[in-house]
Structure 1
Amino acid sequence: MLKPLQYRAGQLSDLLENLQSTGASGFIYINAIVNSEQNPRSRVVVLNNGEMVYGGSKILNNQEFARRIGIKLSHDWADIAVGYAAQKLQDPSSFRELLEQIVRIRVFKWEEIETCVHAQAVQVLEQTLPYAGKLQLDPTVQIDLSYGKEGHGLEWNKLIQDVACRHREWTALAPVIPSMEAVPQLSPGWRTVTDTKAHQHFHKWVDGRRSLIDIAEQLDQDPLELGRTYLEWVASGWITFVRDTPVTQEVAHVEEQRPIVLSVDDSSVVQILIRRALGDHYQVLFASSAVQALTLMNTNPIVLLLLDVTMPDIDGLEFCRTVRSIPKFKDLPIIMVTARDKFSDKLRGQIAGTTHYLTKPFEPEYLLEIVEKYVGQRRQKLKESPTKRTFDNRISEKSYL
């Protein structure tokens, strides 16, 4: 087993991609630091010849894996079929051979198996990608897991896209359910519940200590699906939510050889895309709130700001106006990166003081081109006006230009 590797918030996706690009095989153990006051969130990802083939909270043997598929797909005869197929295996530990046997007797279809495993892997990525943590690869333990007649792995880009879709759904729930880390509490009205199943659920699981994801794990349910159910219970006046403790995110150390760009966006997926686009040319710092952003801006020589309109604590346009009111940030390039693409939105952005308005989704190459343009213009302006440089700009030019 290789030595554990520590990584900062937002770096896990790049690490997993790098391992896949090298054709690695083995188990990847992930410990994500969701909250400094809690134990790390432990997950495991399996690679087979550079392709991700499994993601879960623990490793299962081949029969446990197949039975879990059966439970997820609600196949009544799955347990009997798995036992029958297992008796015919030449290699008792083979995942691939067992699945082929089960598909052959038409209990499962390859598409059903892959869909089920894909959904679970998406949840693993959703629950680990935004956070700092530790990663450890064990290449000595491998399994022959693959899907379809040709034996392929899970499609990485599709996994990331689905993580993004789920993030949008969580955002829609956010006014009521802040996140999967939020803790549900019983409201006084819960005693009037006539739904027996709901009443039993409240009595067993809602204790004011367990978070939504804790309860979902115990029930072996998708936290997002459970969240939709809780949304109905909140509307009925049975449940309320305690906001989760802010995530402790590590701030990267300044790398003197690269200019620093700050991206303010609460979407972990957007952060991943921005890091991919700019990471080879710039050191990219991330903030998910206005307070965190201002802290980073006052402690690092930022050369450009990427700003989302939708922020959890303040409107992005209002934050832009705030930044512009601070003398040392008067000429800082600010690129608004948002899904709002109406002319009126762009006009409001211009009035607020944005330098450029970029709509999502964007091509990575285009984002890099725009950033290079405005960083270059700022560099030239500083060189041409040496007598007007502020102390912060002189430090920035000395270190980065």
Structure 2
Amino acid sequence: MQGNLSEIDIRSILQLIELGQRTGQLLVEASFHNNDKLTLDEAIRPRHSRNYKQQSWFVFFLNGQIIYCQEGDSNLLRIDDYLRHYRVEIRLEEKQLACLGLQSVPEYGYIWALLERNIINPKVAHSIIHHLVHQTLFDLLSLHQGNFVFLQGAALAPQLTSLEIAPLVTKIMQQVQEWKQLHPHIQSPEQLPMLADIVQLNSSLPAATVSKLQQWADGKTSLRQLARYLNRDILTVAKAMYPYVQQGWLQLVYSASNNSKTHIHDMGVGEKHTLRIVCIDDTTTIGETVESILKAEGYEAIALSNPLDAISLIFRLQPDLILCDIAMPELDGYEICAMLRQSTAFRFVPIIMLTGKDGFIDRVRASMVGATDYLTKPFGDTELLMLVEKYINAKSDLGTQIRYKTC
């Protein structure tokens, strides 16, 4: 199941998954303006536009119920904000955090790692998951344009909890409607509250209230972060701020930096310093060979052997080129290529298909799903490097997007 949100909305997609008691993951993707001033229902734009950035979300299901939701940027900021609320001071070591980056769902792995080390208890973990699911669905149910794909497959494991879709969606849809009534004074969860008229605040409000506002309205903490710190939903926090914003005592601003979400635990999705190539092949030896050849030439090469996990990982890794085997179990290369081409994030990224036979039909099918080129196995160092260098130039600007002809 895949398509565009202009044709079917998120609520209907969730209902279909619930009715069908589906197990798998839903990927939703949209584009926003870099200054974050557009609301979630603004029109989607091409990824290569300089003024727009990509946003994606993953929702994981078991038998038609939600297990977990993750934002595509895959940093651990959201969980750390809740740990601050619960006054959890202990964190994982850097080596342990680095291992999480190799998982397809690092946030979920982070929660389980904290549980296994008794840093948090199951009640706290359950609460964090519930709030993260609520936050993600609030964003998704506000979307009107974007792309989606549902991949049926094995459930995210192990499961700590599961949430029924219908009552959750009903509650959040009501909150989305109430949120719209706060416009234009409050426009985005990413806005930063800051004091605008301290004199009026002191003369009109109790000292304790002013002290609280001074603590939180520092111009550096977003409404969304406040909601996490306070363990409240975004609507509750926004409605508490609304009277003061309306009076002009508080001002809501947007971050001057597009990197305001950068965090110490960011899992490799920040600014790239070397060209990144991902190889998806269920044969481990092929992946290791590709890694060895490309790393020797200065590329950052990552081999992924599980095609289902590769779909979610690849949106975090944002590679400059993708090598993808055709014949794989559960999800073949044609399906993966077609899914990626549905996403604006990978519309112009070179995708080279790896095939065990040099057949005309394979080339035609590869071209039909949007593959850039193909490489016949077995291949040597020279063949691989010539094809890679044909489509990406290590000397070019890493931020430039180029349109590639398909094979």
Tell me which structure has the larger Cα radius of gyration: 1
TM-score by length of 1: 0.40
TM-score by length of 2: 0.40
| Bigger proportion of residues as helix | 1
Q: Which has the higher contact order (CA 8 A, sep 6+)?
A: 2
